[in-house]
Structure formats: C-alpha cells, structure tokens
Homo-oligomer: A and B are copies of this chain.
Amino acid sequence: MTTPSTKALVPFVSVDDMMRLVHHIGLERMLSELADAIEADFKRWPSFDKTPRIPAHSDLGVIELMPTSDGELYGFKYVNGHPSNTASGLQTVTAFGLLADVANGYPVLLTEMTILTALRTAAMSALAARHLAPEGSRTMAVIGNGAQCEFQCLAFKAICGIDKVRLFDTDPAATRKALRNLAGRGLDVTACTSAQEAIEGADILTTVTADKRYATILSDNMVGPGVHINAVGGDCPGKTELAEAILHRSRIFVEFPPQSRIEGEIQQLAPDHPVTELWEVFAGTAPGRQSARDITLFDSVGFAIEDFSALRYVREAIRGTAYYVDLDLLADPDDPRDLMGMLLRSQTSAKLA
C-alpha cells in the first residue's frame, strides 16, 4: 500500500462521527449555530450561484443533486426521496454532501447528510420563525410526528424560545416516539388526538407530514389571525399540506421562488402570486410580519444554500476533533502528468510489500 499525499485526502464524516459531533457540540447549540450559519449565507444571497435542484425521477421516487457555489466554495448534496422505502425498513430520505475548493476543484469535505439535513431543515424553519412569528410566541403545534418532528421542536426551543409543543399524528405510535425522544429536554409536550386539538392556543403551526399527495392538513377554518405557519411537508410536485384558501390570507415567504413554485405549497397558486424571498427579510430589504394579525407562512422546501451553510459549518466544526477520517478519494501523483507512472509504481510497491 502506497501512502497518498495529503492533497489526495478528503475529510469524511460518517454517520457515527456526525452523531458524536452533535453530542460534542450539543444538539440545541448546534441547531442555533446552524441557523446563524444559514442566516449569514442568506444575507449574502446575491453572491451565490443558484439553480433549481437536478432531479432524476422514477415511479418509486426521486434522486436529486443540489449544487451551489459562492465563488470560493462549491457544495452539493445528493438526496433521495422514496416514500415507499419505510415499508421495507429503509429511510424515505438519505443524503450525503460534498464541499470543494472552487480555486482548484479539490473536495475538502465529504459527509453524511441524513442527520445533517434533519438538523438544517429544523434550523431553517426556526430561523424563518425568528423573523416572522408573532412576538412572544411560546406554543407550537406540530402536525406530523415523523423523523423531522423532534428536530423541529428542539430547534424552535433553542432558536425561538418555544417551551410548549402540541403534537398530532394520524399514527399514535409516531406521537409516542416523539414524546419519548422529547422527554426531559425542557419542553412541555402534549399529545393530541386531532389536528384541531393540536392547534388550540398555538402561536406557530408546523405541518410536517409525509404523504405524497395534495393533502389538507390545515383547512381554512383552522387558521386564525396572528399565527405563523411553518409548512415543511409540502416539498415536491403533487405534495401539499395546506388548503389553498389559507395561502390567499397569508403573507408568503419562500427560499428560492423558481424552486418553491414547483415544489412548495404555492404550486397551488398562480405563477405570479406575490411571495417574499426570505433572504431579503434577513437582510432587512423586505418586510416580514407587518401586524400582529398577519398570518405569516414559511413555505419550506429546502434549498441548496442551506446545505452549503451546513457543510461549511461542519467543515469548521470538525477541525481539531476526532470526528472524521481522511479518505483516499483523489489520485495525486507526484507529477500531475504522470498518472500512469503512479499506477505502475503502485504495482511495484505491492509486490515488494
């Protein structure tokens, strides 16, 4: 075995290392820091190359690549979405990501992103709510208690000061799972038997269901004035959660309109329906909530810059830690033109070894 040069090595964060990194930093602190990293990148939105994700669709699901670059770093995420996977004990969504140096094209980080995406999605939701939710919000309803539910709850606690969550899922086992995972984490958690019961007294309504269809998780009469809706589950063509009438009563905030109009709740609306880009709210160039009676709606679909921020954050966070290994991913011959020489010499060293 030949020893690769350091240029050939790419730091790799496995699932196990990511979990250890989360515990090392602290889950809520990491959610807060991810929100700050995303906010900082959204504030310099015009400096990013933005493109809708590149999908490969099949009957059973989709595999997507989500690239972006700020001119110094390039990042992309590989992510799949296969709703039928759970039936065979597989994750609906798995992901990994890569960060590279734009100046020379060399990767600088490869990491699992199933856990990291769960964290950044929750951090993004709570970041949007920090700018949009009614002042003094303390109570959040979470409808849909799947894999993302507890991440949302803890992000809203850490980032928005939510201390009461009211949970509902059509499958009581999902709610029990969430109750178990949230126990002892400083949240007052109530399991509810209907969506209607869950939203009672809630300042923030989070919908994060998994069904791939036009669903009505919130009907028009369930949403009164002065709430913030965090609509997470409507995130691909043909998958929505809100009654259209709610959208017409809401101030709608999105990540990247060309993508959100295809994938978000607003796929139900005319293509010129007015929406506000969240980065402008963060940057102070567009208003957020304008009155206590506004219904604000974050129509979350997930955008490549959020992954970029998360990748950048992880790259910094692992420095000096043991939570990665170096991966021999890149060929790096002593003389860049002598790839064949490197290959031939490796045979000699193998024979000598």
Contact = CB atoms under 8 A, between A and B. Distances in A.
A291 interface: no
Contacts of A146: 337
A351 to B, nearest CB: 9
A92 B174 CA distance: 50
B181 A338 contact: yes
B338 A147 contact: yes
A15 B23 contact: no
Interface string A62-96: 11010101010010101011100110111110101
A76 B67 contact: no
B329 A15 contact: yes
A80 to B, nearest CB: 2
A174 B86 CA distance: 55
A333 to B, nearest CB: 8
Contacts of A94: 105-107, 330-332
A330 B202 CA distance: 35
Q: Which of A18, A63, A80 has the most CB of B within 10 A?
A: A63
Nearest to A20: B350
Indicate how many identical chains form the complex.
2
Nearest to A100: B63
Contact of A54 (B18, B23, B65, B330): B65
B89 A105 contact: no
Interface stretch (A1-9, A129-137, A246-254, A255-263): A1-9
Contact of A74 (B15, B56, B81, B92): B56
Contacts of A174: 337
A46 interface: no
A54 to B, nearest CB: 6
B86 A337 contact: yes
Interface of A is mostly: mixed
A115 B328 CA distance: 13
A110 to B, nearest CB: 8
Nearest to A177: B338
Interface of A: 1-2, 4, 7-8, 12, 14-16, 18-20, 22-23, 27, 49, 51, 54, 56, 58, 60-63, 65, 67, 69, 71, 74, 76, 78, 80-82, 85-86, 88-92, 94, 96, 98, 100, 102-107, 112, 114-115, 118, 145-151, 174, 177-178, 180-181, 327-333, 335-344, 346-347, 350
7 contacts: A4-B16, A15-B330, A20-B350, A58-B103, A65-B65, A80-B106, A91-B330
Smallest CB-CB A-B distances: 10 pairs: A80-B105, A114-B331, A14-B328, A150-B340, A19-B346, A147-B339, A181-B340, A146-B337, A23-B347, A86-B336
Given A85-B105, A94-B107, 16 more contacts: A2-B19, A14-B329, A19-B346, A56-B67, A63-B105, A85-B104, A91-B330, A91-B336, A92-B336, A96-B330, A112-B328, A112-B330, A118-B340, A147-B338, A177-B338, A177-B341
